[in-house]
Structures are given as C-alpha cells and as structure tokens.
C-alpha cells in the first residue's frame, strides 16, 4: 500500500463489514479499488474467482483489469471478475438459463432493435396506436423495468390513459420478447434480480459464488442495480461501494443518488471513508468547485484539496454572440498552443448541449485546429455492421424476429411489406416466430406461391450457413456468407460513389477482424460457441461508446455528461448563462441541484487552467435574446474569477491582437519572416 494516503489505506484495509467510500473528484478511487483487490488476494487469501468488481463502462472495466494485471501475475488473478453491471447480469443469465426459462442462443436486443419491435407492436395495439410515440413508449417501459415493475404492476399504477396504453404495450412487448427468445438491455439486470429475489436456492448459490463485491460509481445505480447488489451481497455484507454524490448527474436516465444513503439503512454496520485529496488539479480549480457544490444541500459535505499547486484565477470571457464566443475560444486555443508549446490534446471544450458545438467546430476548422467531437456515430451503429450482426444473430437464434426483419431484404429478395405483414399475422395466430410461421402450411396457403418459394429458399440457405458455422470459425464463415449474398454489390447500389461503398466494405472487414479477436474466452482460452460469441458481441456493441486514441493531438469537444471521468490540462466551460447552464427546463429545486452538480463535474475536469465563456445575447427560436450570466458564477467567490471582454469593442480588438500574435508565432515556427 505504499504511496496511499491514510484515508485510502483505511478504505483498502476495511474488509470485515460493508464500506462506503465517498471519493471526491480526482481522489484516486480506481487505485483504491485496485489496491483492495490485490489486498484481498495477496494478504487475505481470497480466491480471485470469488471477487467481483462492477463499474458502468467497458473502458473503466478494461482500465481496472489492466492495472491489476500490472500488480498480480496471471495465475494469481485467474478467475477474477471485472465487468459492467450488464455483463455481470449476462453472465448470471447464462449460468441460470434453464432456471430462467430461456433457450440456448437467446438474443440481446440493442436500443434500435427494441425500438423497431415497439413500433411494430404499436401498429397492432389499438389501445396505444396514435396515443404514444415509439421513443416515449421505449423510455417508459425501460423506466418500469428499472423499477422492477411487471406489465400488470405498471397497469395498476398508471395515472392516465396514456400510461395505461403504454402498460398494455409493455405487456405485448414482454410476450414478444419471450416468443423470440430475446432479452433487451434492461432485462440483463431485471431478470437476475427477479431470480435472486424469488428463488432462495439460486440466491444462496450466487451469494456463495460472490465472496466480495466492489462497486464503482455507486451514485449512478438505479433501483434494479441497487437491488442486484443487495441480493448478491446478502447478510454478510462483503461490499465496498465507491461513489461521489457531488458527481451524480444521471437522474434523467434512472440513476438514484439516494442509493448512497440507503446503504446505511440496508447495511446497519456500514462504515464511511471520505477521500478528499485530489491528485490532478490546482487548488483554485478545487476551491471554485467546493464553493459551488456547497450550495447543494442534498449531498454529503466534502472539501477537495490538492498538493499540486495554488493555480491562477479563472478567466471569464464575455462575448457578444455565440459566433463571437466560438471565435474567441478557437483563437485563444491557437494562441496558447503556439505561445506555450501546448499540444492540442491538452485542450477540452465542454458544453451543456450538442447544439452548441456547431459554431465552435466551424471556427476550429477555419483556423485548421484538429478536433474530436465525442458523440458521433459509433462503429457499432453503422448500418453495414448492424446488417452483418443481424445475420450472425440469426445463425445463433433462428427465432430472432428483429434480426430476420432487418436482413430479409438486405440485399433485396423481393419479399415485400405485404408479405411480411401477412407472415406476422400468421406468427401471432400460431404463437411462433416468423421463420417457423414461414414454413407452416398456413403460410403456403396464404402467401403468393412465388414469394413463399423465395422465402423458404432463403430460410434453407440460412440453415445451411448455420450448419457450416458449426464447423469453422464464425469470422471465416461470415466472410464466405457476405460473398455469397454479394453484399459489396449491394453497397455499390446503395452508395452514390465507389469510394463510399469501399469505405463501408472496409468497415466490415474491420468488424470481421474484431470478431476473430473476441471469439476466445478470456479465462480458458477456448473458442466461444456461436451463441456465446453473439451474446458477447451484442453486449459490447450496446455498451461501447465511441472512443479515440488519447494520443490523437486534437482538441476534444464534448458535453458535460460525456466529460465525466476525464481530465484535461486546459478546459473551456462554455455557455455559462441562465437557461443554458442551468438549463431552462431544470429550474425546480431537484433538477437545479443536478445542474449544479453537472457544472461541478465540468469544473473538476480542469487540471491547470479553467476558462468560462458566456455571451450577452443568443439567438433562440430565430430571435435574439439578451441573456444573464449563470447563477453558478455568482456562487464562486469574486477573487477566483478574472472577467475579460466587458466592452464589445475591446473584445473585438483583443481577438484581432491575439490572432495576429498567434500568426506571428506560426511564421516564426516555420522560419518565415
């Protein structure tokens, strides 16, 4: 435990009763979790297979695994379980598949597949049709699942006709998932919770298997995740929960920061340790953050401090318009890049909403400043990858209707919407999936003879391909399959240029290489079965957010929500105005408190310098409106802020002078006069 401060050491050594670690921003919480796992294995003799560490992103789980890999030899950490909540849920479901009433090869639907299924059901549900938007219904069903409510319970608590219609749709949705042998993302937590809650034998099995549980970002857990932790830990309470209520910013997607408080209710012997020493930021950054968050009465008090250095006052750039704000930020970054020889990767521009990025992007491009906008289309969201994945899902689960509907005419096979509508009706009447319905006598009688022949011929080809996949690696079989259906030819038909088709084909080759890499079990080294591979790929595709190599020398543009967990030497926090931050939809007390915590997250991303920007007027709904500085700036003491650009003319002159100085530096660097 060399190098740990006293509070960190106390958190690592405490193992005999439940522990809550309130870890402030930048306080080394990941190191504490890693050191505790090492301590449990090396000093306490806990078998690695009995230790389970859970976090919220694949990236965090990978980082944790890499750090432990640097501390322990492979044989000492073999069997250690580090994963996201949903991967933990998937592993439990796989082991308990028969108990849960699932068939091997079940499918995990992503958000798009789930939405498409809901759209299809809405067309058939007279009570819900025309009353609910598909995305609204998807959100409501997800909320009910996260709150562990069944369709019947949802119907009982429905407050109006819209919710009652949505509950009816939820019932149809649940039945369809069962018919398709499929789960959605929320089921990966809900189904394990229901099993552990209702089956004492399964609960005892899993409490014996999970000897010690460590949970990161506990403030972000929802109701079902909290209940999963409680059921896994049991009465012995071998739990370390690590979280920071100051950084609870996900209530809009079901997170319940009060779960930190509930720990003391459910685990009476709970011990709390606070980590307040920050290891990344200068003290002026932390002082501003402390002053801001002190106005949040809903959180437990912590005072961040640092030995990094004192730091300078934070600049507040007052600009005339959003266009001026974008120009000022871009020019300032260019100036500091050359003047201080600071790489572009050292700069981050944070904003409340993605719409704020457009003008900033324009100015960065104008000055040839490289940048990365976080939140673009991810690898797994590309149509060609989703098409290939749908084929693979069908190989593993012939009853996956969502996958079949996606690829039945990709490439085109002349099977039109009328045929699919009739086929769906037959499937509902017979209570079977679409492929089974297509092979029925009823389908042969009701469908056009030519189209029915094409349909059954396609299903026969799928069966033959499935048999081939049992005898060769999945990626190799997929390559052959894509050639057989001439998918590249399909891409050429879809795209306006050969280059665009080539780019999409190259993306598919990258996907096939990735498939080969992950087709091996991490622990045993053995090849995964087709169904295991598809389940793993589906989960990774759902969880994976677009990430770029941190070595890319580019300015980062990202929302405050996306910035959580990251850090940068120089941060620009933009749009520090009323109605932007805090957002105009978040004025009631509870939501305003979360907006303040969102601002706290933005401030604590900065390591060395922090710059706030705002405008005097901003265009909204096509009209210019005067704006006021954010109330959050008023909650930071005046001596920590250095206001610039109070006069419009002066601000313009400063911009021109700064740009000229930057250009002079560029010429000098290039050896030009």
The residues carrying an active-site annotation are: 29-30, 216-217, 247, 605
Q: With beta carbons less than 8 A apart as the criterion, state whether 247 and 299 touch.
A: no
Residues whose CB is less than 8 angstroms from the CB of residue 16 and which lie 6 or more positions away in sequence, other chains included: none
| Residues 584 and 376 sit within 8 Å (Cβ to Cβ) | no
CA atoms within 13 A on the CB side of 290: 17
Q: Taking the CA of residue 63 as centre, how many other CA atoms within 13 Å lie in the half-sphere pointing to its CB?
A: 13
Cis peptide before 582 (omega within 30 of 0): yes
Encoding tokens for residue 32?
Answer: 């504490």
Residues 6+ apart with CB under 8 A from 267: 17, 18, 233, 237, 239
Contact assessment for residue 18 and residue 271, using Cβ atoms and an 8 Å cutoff:
yes
Three-state secondary-structure class, residue 171: helix
- Distance, in Å, from the CA atom of 386 to the CA atom of 524, rounded to the nearest integer, reads 29
* Structural contact between residues 131 and 165, judged by C-beta atoms closer than 8 angstroms: yes
Locate all alpha helices (DSSP H) within 316-448, ordered by sequence: 322-339, 357-366, 383-396, 401-407, 417-430, 434-438, 441-446
Q: If we measure between CA atoms, which residue out of 559, 531, 534 comes closest to residue 545? A: 559
Q: Find tokens 């105005």 and name the residue.
A: 577
Supply the Cα-derived Rg of the chain in whole angstroms: 28
């Amino acid at each position: 435990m060399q190098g740990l401060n006293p509070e960190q050491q106390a958190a690592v050594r405490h193992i005999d009763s439940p522990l809550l670690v309130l870890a402030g921003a930048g306080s080394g919480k990941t190191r504490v979790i890693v050191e505790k796992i090492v301590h449990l294995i090396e000093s306490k003799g806990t078998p690695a297979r009995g230790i389970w560490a859970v976090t919220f992103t694949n990236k965090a789980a990978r980082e944790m695994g890499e750090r432990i890999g640097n501390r322990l030899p492979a044989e000492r950490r073999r069997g250690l379980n580090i994963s996201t909540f949903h991967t933990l849920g998937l592993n439990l479901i796989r082991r308990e598949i028969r108990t849960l009433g699932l068939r091997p090869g079940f499918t995990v639907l992503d958000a798009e597949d789930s939405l498409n299924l809901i759209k299809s059901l809405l067309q058939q549900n007279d009570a819900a049709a025309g009353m609910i938007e598909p995305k609204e219904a998807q959100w409501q069903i997800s909320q009910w699942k996260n709150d562990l409510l069944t369709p019947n319970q949802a119907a009982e608590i429905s407050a109006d006709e819209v919710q009652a219609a949505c509950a009816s749709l939820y019932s149809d949705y649940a039945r369809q998932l069962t018919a398709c042998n499929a789960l959605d993302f929320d089921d990966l937590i809900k189904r394990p919770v229901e099993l552990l809650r209702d089956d004492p034998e399964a609960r005892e099995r899993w409490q014996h298997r999970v000897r010690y549980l460590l949970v990161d970002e506990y403030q972000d857990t929802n109701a079902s995740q909290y209940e999963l932790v409680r059921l896994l830990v049991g009465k012995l309470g071998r739990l370390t929960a690590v979280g920071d209520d100051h950084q609870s910013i996900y209530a809009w997607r079901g997170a319940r920061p009060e779960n930190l408080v509930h720990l003391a209710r459910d685990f009476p012997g709970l011990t709390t340790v606070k980590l307040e020493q920050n290891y990344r930021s200068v003290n002026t950054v932390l002082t501003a953050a402390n002053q801001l968050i002190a106005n949040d009465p809903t959180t437990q008090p912590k005072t961040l401090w640092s030995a990094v250095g004192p730091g300078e006052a934070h600049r507040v750039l007052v600009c005339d318009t959003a266009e001026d704000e974008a120009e000022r930020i871009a020019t300032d970054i260019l100036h500091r890049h050359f003047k201080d020889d600071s790489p572009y990767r050292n700069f981050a521009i944070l904003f409340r909403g993605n719409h704020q990025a457009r003008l900033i992007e324009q100015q960065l491009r104008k000055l040839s400043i490289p940048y990365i906008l976080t939140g673009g289309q991810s690898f797994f969201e590309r149509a060609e990858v989703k098409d290939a994945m749908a084929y693979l899902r069908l190989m593993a689960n012939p009853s996956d209707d969502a996958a079949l509907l996606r690829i039945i005419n990709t490439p085109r096979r002349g099977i039109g919407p009328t045929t699919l509508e009739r086929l769906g009706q037959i499937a509902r009447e017979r209570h079977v999936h679409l492929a089974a319905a297509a092979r029925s006598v009823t389908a042969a009688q009701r469908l056009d003879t030519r189209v029915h022949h094409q349909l059954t011929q396609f299903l026969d080809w799928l069966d033959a391909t499935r048999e081939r996949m049992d005898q060769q690696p999945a990626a190799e079989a997929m390559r052959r399959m894509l050639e057989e259906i001439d998918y590249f030819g399909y891409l050429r038909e879809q795209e306006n240029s050969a280059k665009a088709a080539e780019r999409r084909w190259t993306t598919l080759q990258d996907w096939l290489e990735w498939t080969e890499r992950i087709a091996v079990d991490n622990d045993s080294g053995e090849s995964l079965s087709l169904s295991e591979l598809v389940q793993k790929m589906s989960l990774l595709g759902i969880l994976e957010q677009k990430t770029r190599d941190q070595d890319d020398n580019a300015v980062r543009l990202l929302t405050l929500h996306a910035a959580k967990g990251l850090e940068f030497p120089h941060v620009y926090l933009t749009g520090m105005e009323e109605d932007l931050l805090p957002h105009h939809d978040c004025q009631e007390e509870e939501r305003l408190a979360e907006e303040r915590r969102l601002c706290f997250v933005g401030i604590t991303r900065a390591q060395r310098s922090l710059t706030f920007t705002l405008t005097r007027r901003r265009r909204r709904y096509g009209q210019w409106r005067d704006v006021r500085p954010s109330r959050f700036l008023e909650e930071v003491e005046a001596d920590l802020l250095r206001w610039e650009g109070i006069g419009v003319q002066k601000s313009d002159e400063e911009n021109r002078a700064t740009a000229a100085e930057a250009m002079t530096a560029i010429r000098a660097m290039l050896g030009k006069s």
